[in-house]
Structure 1
Amino acid sequence: MEKIASSQVSETFRSYPPIVREKLMYLRRLILETASESEGIEQLEETLKWGEPSYLTKSGSTIRIGSKKATPEQYAIYFHCKTKLVDTFREIYRSVFKFEGNRAIVFDKNEEIPVEELKHCIYLALTYHNRKHLTMLGV
């Protein structure tokens, strides 16, 4: 898998307070790992959307990560709100994650992230275009 990165993304990560930067870099690592472990994802572009690190692939829907400005003790991984992604995640992982509407999984700064479950959500987002026609995204 080829990763295309932007120097603006690096600058954005550096602009976050240290604890937020650490948490967002961890989410970034999970996204990159998931993409590299997944068949059919040939290229992952890292860019900025709405001023936040975002990850795009031809086979999937954009994933964005950022801090919650209104609640600085939280950060989130965002998904396109017009997809079935968060509704599917909520159905599968209702008792595992906290959700914000149909667009985000939200974490508290001191919360331990359920890695396998989150990587599954990331995988479903990165391969969304191949599965959007399936009931519950084929899960």
Structure 2
Amino acid sequence: MEQSLPAETADIFDRLPEEMAGALRNLRALILETAAENPAVGPLQETLKWGEPAFLPSASKSGTTVRINAHKKSGTRYAFYVHCSTDLVERYRALYSDVLQFEGSRAVLFDLADALPVDAVKHCVAMALTYHLRTD
């Protein structure tokens, strides 16, 4: 079941082309679903950070913020972002360089023309939302 869209997030999505907004809504639903499937994460705080929809496990403090948005340099790309001081994108590259595209130390990129690799994305999101629970 999809959680209601906060007004601030709806406003961001409403300013985007329909196809891009739909892709971001799907990515948002995947993030919420991933969090709900992991009891260590708990409820997510959904807010805006730097004008982008952001999700933070603030109650459990289990992980780092995940942000989503259309990519500023492309009309067909969108992304989820993690904090650049984490090693998450480096770990994502080691696991999914054959499936996902990356930018720098904070972004996982997707294109509207491609199917979203759901399993890989859910695993990466789970890694971000449980980042502070790492024991390795």
In the alignment, which residue of structure 1 is the partner of 2:35?
A: 35
Runs (5+) with no aligned partner, structure 2: none
Higher helix share: 1
1:72-103 CA-to-partner distances (Å, cap 9, x unmatched) read 11111111110011000000111110100111
User: 3-state DSSP class of the match of 1:72?
Assistant: coil
User: 3-state DSSP class of the match of 2:127?
Assistant: helix
User: Take 2:118 and 2:84, find their aligned partners in 1: how far apart are those partners?
Assistant: 22
After the TM superposition, which segments of 4 or more aligned residues of structure 1 sit over 2 Å from their partners?
A: 3-7
User: 3-state DSSP class of the match of 2:44?
Assistant: strand
Runs (5+) with no aligned partner, structure 1: 135-139
User: Take 1:4 and 1:130, find their aligned partners in 2: how far apart are those partners?
Assistant: 28
In the alignment, which residue of structure 1 is the partner of 2:90?
A: 87
Percent identity of the aligned residues? 44
AA matched with 2:114: E
Q: Give the structure-1-normalised TM-score.
A: 0.89
In the alignment, which residue of structure 1 is the partner of 2:63?
A: 60
User: Take 1:5 and 1:48, find their aligned partners in 2: how far apart are those partners?
Assistant: 12
1:89-130 CA-to-partner distances (Å, cap 9, x unmatched) read 000111110100111111111111110111000000000011
Aligned residues: CA RMSD: 1.6
| 8 Å CA contact 1:5, 1:45 repeated in 2 | no
User: Take 2:43 and 2:7, find their aligned partners in 1: how far apart are those partners?
Assistant: 17
In the alignment, which residue of structure 2 is the partner of 1:108?
A: 111
* 1:6 to partner: Cα distance: 3.9
Q: Structure 2 matches for 1:1-139, cutoff 5 A?
A: 6-57=6-57, 58-131=61-134, 133-134=135-136
